[in-house]
Amino acid sequence: MASCIPIMGLVLSLAVIAGYICATATDHWIEVPLVSTSAGLWRQCTNYAGVINMCSDLGDVPAYMHISRGCMIAACIVALLAIILAIVGFIQEIGNTKIKIAGVLIILTASAVATATIWYAIEKATYYDDLNLDYDFGYSIIIGWVSVPLAIVAGSMLLATYSRH
């Protein structure tokens, strides 16, 4: 019988990957109220008169955007593999090692997401500060930020797997 803490870590890992996917896929990493614009990793959207929302691909982007995209995609893939590994570890009679590896992988994804979100935030803040434009960080990047400590907690819970004899 598995301990409750690693199982809670697995459940929390599911919430973490949902946060990663939501943050990666949505277009609200940064919002500029003056021009009713929001942008994510893939496209920028402008809301005209509160009625029409026009979105366009970002096209040619700086290196930090490519790195942020890569970190977020890698985190989603590795987190998914970690969850599968943890499930297999729970199903098998002797799966402690797999569960612990899954815990380490989930914690590593937190570093990738932290890198992506923090670097993006610094670059965009510098850009908009130089233009003297007000900006807000949108829900997408906040979900990414919240997912980082949750991933650390989830990975730690998976690492708390006890030894079965």
- The confidence score (pLDDT) of residue 93 equals 66
Which residue is associated with the tokens 């990738």?
112
How far is the C-alpha of 50 from the C-alpha of 101, rounded, in Å?
48
pLDDT at position 133 over 50: yes
Q: pLDDT tens for residues 138-157?
A: 999 999 999 999 999 999 99
Which element (helix H / strand E) includes 67? helix 63-91
Residue 71's closest CA among 118, 103, 28? 118
Mean pLDDT of the chain: 89
The full length of the chain comes to: 165
- Residue 57, CB-side half-sphere exposure with 13 Å CA sphere: 3
* Contact between 123 and 89 (Cβ < 8 Å): no
The pLDDT value given to residue 11: 93
Contact 68, 119 (CB under 8 A): yes
Categorize the per-residue pLDDT at 25 as very low, low, confident or very high, splitting at 50, 70 and 90. very high
- The per-residue pLDDT for 61 is 86
**Cα separation of 89 and 31, whole Å?**
42
Q: What are phi and psi of 8, to 5 degrees?
A: -65, -35
- pLDDT tens string 71-105: 999 999 999 999 999 999 888 866 688 889 999 99
Model pTM score? 0.88
In angstroms, the CA 102 to CA 98 distance is 6
